[in-house]
Structure 1
Amino acid sequence: MTSYAPPVSDITFLLGEVFDFDGLMRRLPGHEDVNADLAVSILDEAGKFCVGVLEPLNRSGDEEGCRLENGAVSTPKGFPEAYRAFVEAGWAGLSGDPEYSGQGLPRVVQILVDEMISSVNLSFGLFPGLTRGAVEAISRHANSDLKATYLPKMISGEWTGAMALTEAAAGTDLGLLTTKAEPVGDGSYRIKGTKIFISSGDHDFGGNIIHLILARLPGAPKGVKGISLFLAPKFLIGKDGSLGARNDMSVGSLEHKMGIHAQPTCVMNYDGAIGWLVGEAGRGLNAMFTMMNAERLFVGIQGLGIAEAANQKATGYARERLQGRSSDGTRGPVAIIEHPDVRRMLLTGRSLADASRALAIWTAMQMDIAARHPDEAARREADGFVALLTPVVKAAFTDFGFETAVASQQVLGGHGYIREWGMEQFVRDARITQIYEGTNGVQALDLVSRKLPMEDGALASRFFALIEQDLRTAADLPAAGVITKATAQALGRLETTTRHLLAARAAPAEAGAAAADYLRLFALVAFGWVWVRMAAQAATGQTPLHRRKLATATFFAERVLPQTLWLEAAIISGAASLMDIEAELL
């Protein structure tokens, strides 16, 4: 079976030709010395680590899984050593704040490393990914003492992080949570409650595990306004910074899951665990959403990683598997890559993965602008685009990632259903990405109900204007004509449905009925946009990569973008066909 090949040439094309990565870095204080050559050299080394260290553990980790014995969690064989090698090589602190021992590299580099890790070992990638999310929340909201105590070792990777939100009766509706935090009197709190679905809640890597926990203070009001955020370490910290006594928390059980078997998903019991308030009392969700939004973007990249790996392996198999006769009936048996339906599945996955990566890079560049650009207006605009695209990246990338994994499995036929080929693990692992960090239905509602109405629709209009500008630029390029025309038509459908939803925003049922279809429509138009940009640059070259990009752009225009026709029709049809039927008849 074909081994994973890090997509360094595709990344080089995007950073060096499609996006002005070097020009942007020169405008961002602290990143002036970063350029595409440096980024690609780092990514090349990251790819070697992923292929050499992490990929060999993917199947074995899935088969062995995690264990809970005498209250201690053990990860699969090789995972602790791989994590220590990951930390020693400096990968944990790649984009971390240099003030706290990080390397301070751009988000663009970080998300591309995350993609590679997700391609080869989704379970492993959650350990550093969740830690970075916790770092974001602590950096943004904690006091200086907590930052100084926890950030250096979390950014270096010596300590890891976990996010404790969900309870048995409080999932999406966090206002229902019951975990309590009682003040001790010395500035600390005793946290009591049980959380479920806690990824990386415990492990055997050594060091400390820093839990960020949502809980209620005494007398806090009901609902989300009564929730606060607390930091509770697995081991308490001595005055000299050393690890002291174990905190009063324990693993009640490990969840038995469909996929990500090598990731310890824990039921955590907090039996009076000592913790400290992060941010303001009663504003825990505000602080936690800093972490959750970072994690939602990270989960979107997981979907991309799965799509890339599954499509690569399916393509390799299709080149080797002999079955059937050629389309003209003159040869046989032929490699199944010659069959139209197999090509349909492969090209659909390839067109979605390539566009996901391009949009991810553009979004990460906006994150870098929002964090570092010297002009406040530029920072504010970029931050708005990131907010708008966060639910799109999370939901669309993971939907498309799962769909690509399923189609790639189908290419292998019966072999795709057999464990030894690895394709069924992609399907199982990809499925969780559509669920955790806010289900994709919740992301769609966030886009329609919260993001579209921002600035009375002006934020979305500015994004659409960027697309229109690039469409005008590409209009005179014959080689990009098919994708440019198709994207322009799809953008018109998106603008029509956007006006429809903004006009109907007082009717919650209309937003709920349209949300999933609208998010997919939005994503496909955004994908068409980046395909226009890729095709415009590919038209200037004659390498196999350039020719492949042009051909894939045409396929996307003619075989994928037409989905926007039925999506528009479904959205405009309204909520009646969903809501008029009595619930007991469903």
Structure 2
Amino acid sequence: MWQYQPPLRDIRFVIEELLNLPAQWAQMPAFAEVDAATARQVVEEAGKFAADVLAPLNAVGDLEGCTLKDGAVTTPRGFREAYQAFVQAGWPALACDPAVGGQGLSQSLNAVLHEMLNSANHAWTMYPGLLPGAYESLLAHGTPALREQYLPKVVSGEWLSTMCLTEAHAGSDLGLLKTRAAPQADGSFRVRGTKIFISGGEHDLTDNIVHMVLARIADAPAGTRGLSLFLVPKVMPDGTRNALRCDGVEKKMGIKGSATCVMSFEGATGWLVGEANRGLAAMFVMMNAARLHVALQGVGHAESAYQNSLRHAQERLQMRAPVRDAARQGHEADPIVLHPAVRHNLLRQRALLEGGRLLAYETAHLLDVAERHPDDAVRHTAHDEVSLLTPICKAFLTDNGNASAQAAQQVYGGHGYIHEVGVEQCVRDSRIARIYEGTNEIQAIDLLVRKVIADGGVKLGRLIARLQRELPGSDLAARVQPWLANWQQVTQQIVQQAAQDAELPYRVADDYLRLAGLLLLAHGWVRAEAIAAVHTSPFHAAKRETAQYYLDYLLPEASLCLARIRAGQNPLPQLSPASA
């Protein structure tokens, strides 16, 4: 059956050996007291909660789903009790500012927490998953009164939050939103409109829900420039119910324990967050935090898929392997892990998973540097790199998470198609991460058009230069160095050609992002191999083997990306309407 064991050893390798985060935390006064022992304790306790409390509820949530009756949503058995334990242990406040009740730990440790929560139970994790974004948005853009009223409850997790963007006619085009907000004499607004696909729009985990709603004030400019952000609580400060309701809970492919709601705001009272007509500036703070957390969903599913399919491959006996373990002589069947096709499958999973974990944790750490480092220049550089790495993490790691789930299903064979085994739930649950918080295609456009071409590739060039400087002197590094140069070269070609062909970057964006992800993981594996090379343990030997495997079997996929980018210089054919 489907199980989850926290990958504590690999997490320690990334935090302590590869990134050396305790030494980097020491350079930032906010984290100066967080040492390796403290980090280990936090990670171990988070792992226990994920494995002991959440993992047993994963299949329960999938089978039961959520029920809506008279406007109230009931979550699956055990979800409410698990959330109460989560709050009592202080997990929502982990990376929040102590000035507002947080524990003041790093974003990288928060990333570890959320990876493990998602590995154990993606659907349950959807409920607290938006708290970090609501916290960041209110902290940066909320009025003093709103921060005083709502931030402590959000930080503690006593109240959960939502992000209300999508409308049925608009989808990802936020400029088409029709929800309206009318100013009132007391400074509040009356919000009217309907939002769809609202995760945790209604539930029984907390008494109040803080809805962050995008709406348009009368006479606002058209498009996204006319959007404003509003805080609209389920329950008003005086204890009365606000004028909003849940009109439906979607029946979905996966994450069935997460209530995905249709929310109607019928003159609900709300308060402006940030400046009028600049709601996207306040919302993007929330969206960027959410996108990194979605990337961690990809890592979480990849971990769960890998460890379960590896265990199955070690236990499942089927036919003789072409090259047998000496201990298996005389047996009629071997564990399928001895068969090359299965080993390829599992090694690919491991290489993408462990490389992806490094990329996600390093990006989370750069968030800390961008916010907390005492040197202005260092903060500025980290901010630039986070802006580039966030869309890569979201798209590349969720693509890999879903692919790993399907690869795990392949290892299980026909049993992987059966619900009771658990892998088919992993396939279904992991699929949504490629779609929400901006589809992966939108992430690719964000990276290439808004982040790279917009400044002529300057920030990307600085990132590549930093990666080149960090490469150790090794044979593997010598294989990666030319690829980083290729990345820089193709970027400049796209920047130049886009001036004459406005559609070009949109044609090649997906392959460009995939290229970036493959090269970032290659860079990470070269660094990992160099560190592992000075140790003799089986763990470090496996790191060296996986690094070699990545460069031999996965890095060549970058050639395909380059070939497709070059092919993208030609216009795509137009598609005619289907004939009758």
Normalising by structure 1, we get a TM-score of: 0.96
List runs of 5+ in structure 2 lacking aligned partners. none
Q: State the 1:2 CA deviation.
A: 6.0
One-letter code aligned to 1:306: H
Q: Which residue of 1 aligns with 2:535?
A: 541
Point out the more displaced range, 185-194 or 205-214. 205-214
The alignment status of 1:474 with 2:473, answered yes or no, reads yes
- Asked if residue 299 in structure 1 is aligned to residue 298 in structure 2, the reply is no
Partner of 1:478: none
What is the deviation of 1:291?
Answer: 0.4
Q: CA shift at 1:32, angstroms?
A: 0.4
Q: Give, in angstroms, the shift of residue 207 of structure 1.
A: 2.3
Structure 2 residue 143 is matched with structure 1 residue 143: yes
CA distance in 2, matches of 1:28, 1:217: 41
Within 1, Cα distance between the matches of 2:574 and 2:332? 53
Q: Secondary structure at the match of 1:504?
A: helix
1:575 positional shift: 4.5
Q: Give the residue type in structure 1 aligned to 2:491.
A: T
Question: Is 1:508 matched up with 2:502?
Answer: yes
Q: Sequence identity, in percent?
A: 45
SS at match of 1:250: strand
Q: Which residue of 2 aligns with 1:393?
A: 393
After superposition, what is the alpha-carbon deviation per residue over 1:269-322, rounded to whole angstroms, capped at 9, x for unaligned? Answer: 000000000000000111111100110011000000000011100000000000
Shift of 1:30: 1.5
Q: What residue in structure 1 maps to residue 284 of structure 2?
A: 289
Once the two structures are TM-superposed, the CA of residue 341 in structure 1 deviates from its matched residue by: 0.7
Distance in 1, Cα, partners of 2:505 & 2:402: 25
Opposite residue 160 of structure 1, the aligned amino acid is L
The unaligned stretches of length 5 or more in structure 1 are 239-243, 476-480
Q: Please list, as runs of the form range in 1=range in 2, the aligned pairs for 1:190-339 lying within 5 A after superposition.
A: 190-238=190-238, 244-328=239-323, 332-339=332-339
Give distance in 1, aligned partners of 2:133 and 2:332: 53
Q: 1:450-479 deviations in whole A, cap 9, x for unaligned?
A: 1113543121111111221122x333xxxx
Q: Which amino acid aligns with 1:371?
A: E
Shift of 1:491: 2.0
1:489 aligns with 2:482: yes
Moved more, 204-213 or 191-200: 204-213
Matching residue of 1:52: 52
Q: Is the 8 A contact 1:325 1:333 kept in 2?
A: yes
Distance in 1 of aligned mates of 2:513 and 2:291: 15
Aligned residues between the structures? 573
Check the 8 A contact 1:181/1:215 in 2, yes or no.
Answer: yes
**Which residue identity is paired with 2:118?**
S
Give 1:92-241 correspondences, 5 Å limit: 92-238=92-238
* Equivalent position amino acid for 2:289 in 1: A
For residues 10-60 of structure 1, give each alpha carbon's deviation from its aligned partner in whole angstroms, at most 9, with x where no partner exists: 111112211121221111011100122211111101101111100000001
2:495 is paired with a residue of what secondary structure?
helix
Question: Which residue of the other structure, out of 554, 558, 562, is the alignment partner of 1:564?
Answer: 558
Q: Distance in 2 between matches of 1:188 and 1:426?
A: 43
- Asked whether the equivalents of residues 80 and 205 of structure 1 are also in contact (C-alpha less than 8 Å), the reply is yes
Q: Which amino acid aligns with 2:17?
A: E
Cα distance, 1:582 vs structure 2: 4.4
1:371 corresponds to: 371
Deviation at 1:193, TM superposition (A): 0.2
In 2, are the aligned partners of 1:11 and 1:40 still within 8 Å (CA)?
A: no
Deviation at 1:583, TM superposition (A): 3.3
Q: Partner of 1:245: helix, strand, or coil?
A: coil
Q: Is the 8 A contact 1:500 1:572 kept in 2?
A: no
Letter in 2 for 1:197: F
Instruction: Name the CA shift for 1:209/1:389 in 2 (closer, same or farther; >3 Å).
Output: same
8 Å CA contact 2:177–2:215 kept in 1: the answer is: yes
1:62-97 Cα distance to aligned partner (Å, 9 max, x none)? 110001001100000100010001100111111111
CA contact (8 A) 2:391 2:447 kept: yes
Residue equivalent to 2:491: 498
Which letter does structure 2 place at the counterpart of 1:303? G
Check conservation: 2:244, 2:266, Cα contact below 8 A: yes
Measured against aligned partners, the alpha-carbon deviations of 1:155-189 in whole angstroms (never above 9, x if no partner) come to 10100000000001111110001000011111000
> How many Å separate the matches in 2 of 1:573 and 1:167?
36
Contact 1:2/1:317, CA 8 A, preserved across alignment: no
CA deviations over 1:350-375 (Å, ceiling 9, x no partner):
10010111111211111111111111
Cα distance in 1, alignment partners of residues 470 and 377 from structure 2: 22
Residue 525 of structure 1: aligned partner: 519
